[in-house]
Structure 1
């Protein structure tokens, strides 16, 4: 009974942290800007993971995997952060969370193209629903029938995350999800360092709330959220854990309303429901990539990845 309670608490903490990340971005953006927030959050997350990694037995990656790891970092960290932050300049936190949930559907298409994975009838339906819902949201956030440019940037972040899902798939055979998260966050931070001057310029003028929001993003959703998620994933089925992530957009909408007094156009809510239905169908499609879970507004790993144990029969020269 106590064990079940701990798992429930871990899932609840993870969902709350990842949902609140979309709201925290909206708080920090005005003071730090897109570039400053992107590099600042990743730097804080890297420091936190550097402290946690030795305690959780994170190994060094093999040199032969470094190129793919950097590809994951470029798509899933650097590009994702910049695109999402740019989109949330005007897109409400809840709407952004709904759009990001289209990533598993996009990943199914990319897996079809790049990994030659089969796309069955359910996958086609999921794809149609996902893009229909995303289009409805983008138009609802725009002017008339003109899609919102910022909503399209958030959708671009979902595409970047989908690329990350596909690129990381071969790595999950050899590394635990938490290990891969560390590698990708650290690499993504290195790739974002050219944005550091923006952070240095903006930080002295940032308000206390903005600074707290940035620190929260790096410490809580990006680092601690993955520790609690790894704990829960190790003790739950992939399906049960993935289902809990559908609460993220719902909670993000609620937090955005309470903290920022944000409202979402009814049409965008309808589009979000369509996206979520498509995501549910894509997870049931049965492809490994489609299981990828759009989680929070930060370092993200498919639901299956953190549940998958490390393959100790695969030799690693660096431990």
Structure 2
């Protein structure tokens, strides 16, 4: 592996870390904004803030329009991931307890892996599969331990399942587009697509904004600028340089980081089960992203789902 390839790998890993940290930080902001904004209004406000931020960056970098060949993937990921996922997840998590949400929503990375194998020809090395299984168990443990004991409706379970499917399909659709357009183009126009899909919630957003406290509105803007505009861009950068399966597995670090941030920002001291679940999440991510020692041939690295482009 030459120096340029090694540097690219480090940058991609760094981008993935930025993504999961910012997505975990969204938990605290959603707790505030979600109390004042309805699910559709929150999704529209977040996506609008993200679209403005990404649009300015595109103009400054003179990115222009994506090539025609990239539009199917951009449009599909925008509709499913930026649009349907954000609205349905906001709605679903109001209908179920945290344990049920963790169980249902966190099948998303597993669906990503299965779709990646089926549709993109991604490899499924044993380490990746084992790591995802460990992380999934940890995510469910975290969700159960942080559950407030509230009931779960059938509608809420269905909504969380739809969110997981939309997330997985959106990620898999985004991957081919990244081979035809720049990272910023794919992210910006995907976010714009999601914003357009959420425009029917404009009236609700205006009404909620009139009554919402300033802190909730600022948290909504934060969600748009950082966990959306920045984190989805760093996600796309990392995804362009690895497989969807490995990136999906990486997101299992989010529940562990949520536990830490809730402890630091909200004073929510984690219990024993929460700590064990968080540790399992991180251990599973470490296993899923590890590679067998001394096996550095291009063929071997491809079998482990590693991008070997020079």
- TM-score, L = length of structure 2: 0.70
**Pick from 175, 198, 208: which aligns with 2:214?**
208
- Report how far residue 47 of structure 1 moved: 1.2
**Pick from 165, 186, 189: which aligns with 2:192?**
186
Alignment pair present for 1:168 and 2:174: yes
Q: Secondary structure at the match of 2:65?
A: coil
- Structure 1 gaps of 5+ residues are 292-303, 310-319
Q: Secondary structure at the match of 1:53?
A: helix
- Indicate if the aligned counterparts of 1:32 and 1:206 stay in contact, CA closer than 8 A: yes
Residue 294 of structure 2 corresponds to none
1:195–1:280: structure 2 CA closer, same or farther, 3 Å change rule?
farther
Task: Report which stretch shifted further, 98-107 or 217-226.
Answer: 98-107
- Indicate if the aligned counterparts of 1:91 and 1:151 stay in contact, CA closer than 8 A: no
Alignment pair present for 1:109 and 2:114: yes
- Indicate if the aligned counterparts of 2:26 and 2:223 stay in contact, CA closer than 8 A: yes
1:198–1:51: structure 2 CA closer, same or farther, 3 Å change rule?
same
**Pick from 281, 284, 287: which aligns with 2:287?**
281
Q: CA RMSD, aligned part only? A: 4.6
Alignment pair present for 1:271 and 2:281: no
Residue 226 of structure 2 corresponds to 220
- Report how far residue 59 of structure 1 moved: 2.9
Q: Secondary structure at the match of 1:32?
A: coil
- Indicate if the aligned counterparts of 2:123 and 2:304 stay in contact, CA closer than 8 A: no
Residue 298 of structure 2 corresponds to none
Distance in 2 separating the partners of 1:43 and 1:83: 17
- Indicate if the aligned counterparts of 2:256 and 2:279 stay in contact, CA closer than 8 A: no
- Structure 2 gaps of 5+ residues are 1-6, 292-300
Distance in 1 separating the partners of 2:19 and 2:128: 28
**Pick from 85, 88, 111: which aligns with 2:90?**
85
Cα deviation, 1:6-51, whole Å, max 9, x if unaligned, reads: x899998766544322210111001002111011110111111111
- Indicate if the aligned counterparts of 2:122 and 2:305 stay in contact, CA closer than 8 A: no
1:64–1:247: structure 2 CA closer, same or farther, 3 Å change rule?
closer
- Indicate if the aligned counterparts of 2:112 and 2:169 stay in contact, CA closer than 8 A: yes
**Pick from 203, 209, 215: which aligns with 1:197?**
203
**Pick from 39, 55, 58: which aligns with 1:50?**
55
- Report how far residue 183 of structure 1 moved: 1.4
Equivalences for 1:1-319 in 2 at 5 Å?
Answer: 17-89=22-94, 103-140=108-145, 157-225=163-231, 229=234, 249-284=255-290
